């Protein structure tokens, strides 16, 4: 439109070149923003038992996930009990600054490039209501059958074991179904990996997340792709303990996200241990190590102006049973600090008081959720059991041993629904 489509003049070409530079994506992989906030002193327990006193206790920051598939190819019930022995326990760590970094928020400033705007074309940008540099562009590959048009016979897509999907992925089995997607274990037939022990080539197993065919789910998954792409472009997923996206595409009327294949989530694994009378897995040392890994992940995304918004046991997956290696997944609910804030985030049992009461929030709500998760893994019980918002708030007061700070109550848009003027919890009769 404007002069660009019909012109070819030097001025128009210059504008197009400027626009291309803007849409080139991130200019570098550096962290954006300012310094993080100080950590809450009471949560320094994440350093683990004896870590502060014993100089012999060290933590290995090397990537522990470099193990062949043959060593840990078993996530079945038969193989789990032998994979975690006491001598495999990870060491406690000494870093006391991770929590501070994870709770600190930094402003997002990765797309601040100014662009040349054609003054003869009356866009909203030229009118001073925006900047071309505030926009991003990514291409969605669409895979379709040649010489064929029309819709699929049904909106629901079920992948059958043994079939090849999108000409590349050999379906093994279904991994699980969530509210807006179904996950499948597949073999990437176009991948070529070399086994370090045998030297033989093999195909990599991946996870295909097939999004349900509705516009809302499609749009939300596009947001997840943008976040996963930002994570992949600005850091190493293994070092920062975030799931790695391999690719994404659109096929048979469904958006598909391909990620690395991980093991069970903390909820499923904890349930397996309890039901099969296995030795306790979530010891204090292992939980300290798991906590540290997720704090690293949260620090990484918070420095990019992101809030995960849904940290819970189901969204922390094991990459190695014996080494207690974990990764954070499911960024479909993630938001930027600059987004309009919503009170409909986080699963309720892991929801921070700021969100419940309608206060302004930041990355600290992820750290609250992580604390709930770790306590649950240690005790085997949901930390803040509840059947309503009021019972959850009451439980929080009981567990933390004190009333809510006045600042939180006064700053909450929803506080009047749960607190009296003197700061006492109440519940309407019959509610």
Residues carrying an active site annotation: 310
CA-nearest of 200, 378, 118 to 273 is 378
Q: Give the DSSP letter string of 373-411.
A: HHHHHHHSS-TT--SSHHHHHHHHHHHHTSPPPHHHHHH
> Do 57 and 110 touch, CB atoms closer than 8 A?
no
Whole-number Å distance between alpha carbons of 197 and 195: 5
Q: Characterize the bridge pairing of strands 245-251 and 193-194.
A: unpaired
Q: Characterize the bridge pairing of strands 316-320 and 254-260.
A: unpaired
- In this structure, the number of other CB atoms found within 10 A of the CB of residue 346 comes to 24
Which residue in this structure is represented by tokens 């809450």? 40
> Do 328 and 315 touch, CB atoms closer than 8 A?
yes
How many C-alpha atoms does 378 have within 13 Å on its Cβ side?
A: 16
Whole-number Å distance between alpha carbons of 346 and 420: 25
Q: Is 122 exposed, middle or buried (0-12, 13-18, 19+ CB in 10 A)?
A: exposed
Structure tokens at 54: 């014993």
H or E element in which residue 148 lies:
none
């Amino acid at each position: 439109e404007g002069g660009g489509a019909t012109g070819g003049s030097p001025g128009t070409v210059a504008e197009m070149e400027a626009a291309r530079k803007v849409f080139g994506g991130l200019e570098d992989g550096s962290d954006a923003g300012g310094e993080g906030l100080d950590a809450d002193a009471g949560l320094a327990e994440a350093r683990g038992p004896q870590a502060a006193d014993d100089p012999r206790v060290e933590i290995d920051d090397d990537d522990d996930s470099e193990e062949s598939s043959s060593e840990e190819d078993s996530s079945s019930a038969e193989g789990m009990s032998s994979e975690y022995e006491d001598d495999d326990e990870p060491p406690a760590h000494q870093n006391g600054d991770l929590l501070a970094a994870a709770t600190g928020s930094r402003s997002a400033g990765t797309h601040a490039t100014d662009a040349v705007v054609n003054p003869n074309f009356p866009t909203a940008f030229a009118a001073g209501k925006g900047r071309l540099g505030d926009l991003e562009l990514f291409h969605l590959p669409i895979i379709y059958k040649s010489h064929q048009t029309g819709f699929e016979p049904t909106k629901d897509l079920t992948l059958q074991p043994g079939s090849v999907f999108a000409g590349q992925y050999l379906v093994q089995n279904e991994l699980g179904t969530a509210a807006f997607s179904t996950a499948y274990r597949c073999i990437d037939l176009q991948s070529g990996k070399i086994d370090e022990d045998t030297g033989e080539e093999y195909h990599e197993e991946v996870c295909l997340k097939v999004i349900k065919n509705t516009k809302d789910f499609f749009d939300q998954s596009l947001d997840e792709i943008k976040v996963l792409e930002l994570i992949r472009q600005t850091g190493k997923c293994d070092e920062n303990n975030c799931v790695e996206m391999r690719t994404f595409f659109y096929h048979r009327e469904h958006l598909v996200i391909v990620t690395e294949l991980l093991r069970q989530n903390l909820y499923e694994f904890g349930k397996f241990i309890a039901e099969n009378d296995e030795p306790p897995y979530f010891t204090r040392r292992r939980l300290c190590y798991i906590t540290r890994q997720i704090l690293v992940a949260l620090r990484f995304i918070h420095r990019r102006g992101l809030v995960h918004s849904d940290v819970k046991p189901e969204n922390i997956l094991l990459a190695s049973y014996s080494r207690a290696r974990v990764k954070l997944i499911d960024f479909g609910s993630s938001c930027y600090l600059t987004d309009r804030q919503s009170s409909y985030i986080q699963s309720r049992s892991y929801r921070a008081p700021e969100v419940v009461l309608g206060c302004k929030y930041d990355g600290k709500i992820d750290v609250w959720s992580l604390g709930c998760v770790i306590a649950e893994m240690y005790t085997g019980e949901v930390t803040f059991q509840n059947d309503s918002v009021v019972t959850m708030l009451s439980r929080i007061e009981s567990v933390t041993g004190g009333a809510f700070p006045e600042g939180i109550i006064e700053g909450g848009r929803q506080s009047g629904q749960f607190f009296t003027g003197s700061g006492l919890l109440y519940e309407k009769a019959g509610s």
